[in-house]
A and B are shown apart, each in its own frame.
Chain A
């Protein structure tokens, strides 16, 4: 595109820039082709697929039990949720009942994982904007969660904790005590994050009224999870399509309020996550109180062969609605596994929102959507 700048007779044209694939603020291997007019973006097209590992195809080659560790790799920051989605799908197909203690163990592990994932989201948000200190503060707390996870399931990142029919190992009373101690320590720390980052004038100025996603756009472009809630839509799978033991628990669904600017701006998307941290702590405390005794895993055959059929399971992962469409043909292997993730749908809106914003604000937009490259491509 070329045109004469008004009145001067000088020749101008758009500049095409590459953001990524190896850019620190793209959260993984992710590329944007950006057309800019000076500092203002005319078009930003996401180019995904650099991290495609064909996890879905691997599902057709693994046994039902053997595929669970692979689902960890779908989203490395929230592996527990990917585990849960697949296990729930398999249980629904095979008609397996999970014992109550197993369900509580699952929710405790998942909510701990949600806290860890949101800490990364909040920390890297600060880092992308230019504040490196909060990132280190967030990672410090995440390390404590990793230590707890190590005690619960034996791994720090790729948990493989959930099994079809329950959980791999029971959560011991001493681990429960350590989780309570962590929560006592962690809840005041959230206020520290707020003082350090959320209420910082520079941070607010950088994010308020930037990259506003309206309620209608958010719904039309199929945003999910915290990104959708930040635009003012009350939607949470845990509450609206309940699964596991969430109906028994009392928690709120934080929704964006446009408190520092417009509803649905980058600051709202950030602050919804901070408030979700507190809600997760609330859920964790309730679960630890209510945990029933009994077995944590149901008896499931080693050679698990669910009857032929298909199912679609939705769970609320930290990056929104995670869906598993699983087809069984009655054999030892799944016939088809399809994973639907929140990050992928979040990518589509960048094309819509980016025209007219500054290059630096594009980084804020990507950071605020909390996309995770491995989860986009799977």
Chain B
């Protein structure tokens, strides 16, 4: 007799807990969905919604890169390759190479912290798929360009002021804790 009562109680409890679970499941029919139809049916590009600190694919602004090699030295996996040579004509040093291997990069953000001008920075871009592995090495130098030298008393050229400011804004975002 006891066995039958226990059996019936078990059945009752099981049915009750399934019903309890179902009330939660069914309540989601009237809640707002938390998923999106990536990549097609979204109102806004995901890249635009990401915070400034997001560590996406690296980019370098060669116009404000001083060639100090701090990023190359700090990188734990050596995915940054920089080549600099002396130009006999202009008596200045030129960049001959600035490659970042996106395949190797582990997006740790140590390079951007080391950068004195904020020229190397993580973008909000994260979609890196391509057909050819060679396409994953980003070349930032197509022809020889001289190294950037910060002018005493600040920049005067409007284009350069803008670039330096972008670098500074980015550095402020990173260097905030030391303030």
Interface residues, chain A, CB within 8 Å of chain B? 62-63, 65-70, 101-102, 133, 137, 140, 143, 150-155, 158, 160, 166-170, 192, 195-197, 199-203, 295-297, 299, 302
Contact = CB atoms under 8 A, between A and B. Distances in A.
A295 B14 contact: no
A45 to B, nearest CB: 35
Interface in B40-84: 50-51, 53-55, 74-76
A200 B17 contact: yes
Contacts of A296: 176-177
B136 to A, nearest CB: 19
B17 A199 contact: yes
Given A133-B21, A155-B109, 13 more contacts: A66-B110, A140-B34, A150-B50, A167-B177, A195-B24, A199-B17, A199-B20, A200-B18, A201-B17, A202-B14, A295-B177, A295-B178, A295-B179
Contact of B110 (A65, A155, A192): A65
B125 interface: no
B92 interface: no
A138 to B, nearest CB: 12
B85 interface: no
B54 A150 contact: yes
Contact of B21 (A153, A158, A166, A196): A196
B177 A69 contact: no
Contacts of A66: 74-76, 110
Given A151-B53, A200-B21, A158 B110 contact: no
B177 A154 contact: no
7 contacts: A66-B74, A66-B110, A68-B108, A150-B53, A155-B107, A160-B109, A199-B17
Nearest to A141: B34
B16 interface: yes
A150 to B, nearest CB: 6
Nearest to A296: B177
Given A158-B106, A201-B13, A170 B176 contact: yes
Given A158-B106, A160-B108, A295-B178, A201 B24 contact: no
B174 interface: yes
A152 B113 CA distance: 16
Interface string B18-35: 101100110000000010
A42 B173 CA distance: 59
Given A67-B76, A166-B177, A169-B53, A195 B21 contact: yes
Given A66-B74, A154-B53, A169 B107 contact: no
A322 B110 CA distance: 25
A11 to B, nearest CB: 37
Contact of B20 (A153, A154, A195): A195
A70 B76 contact: yes
A65 B114 CA distance: 11
Contacts of B24: 137, 192, 195-196
A137 to B, nearest CB: 8
A63 B177 contact: no
Contacts of B51: 150-151, 154
Contact of B76 (A63, A167, A169): A63
B45 to A, nearest CB: 16
A133 B25 contact: yes
B177 A297 contact: yes
Contacts of A166: 177
Given A155-B55, A167-B177, A201 B14 contact: yes
Contacts of A101: 177
A100 to B, nearest CB: 12
A192 B51 CA distance: 30
A302 B13 contact: no
A119 B90 CA distance: 61
Which of B50, B55, B108, B178 gathers most chain A CB within 10 Å? B108
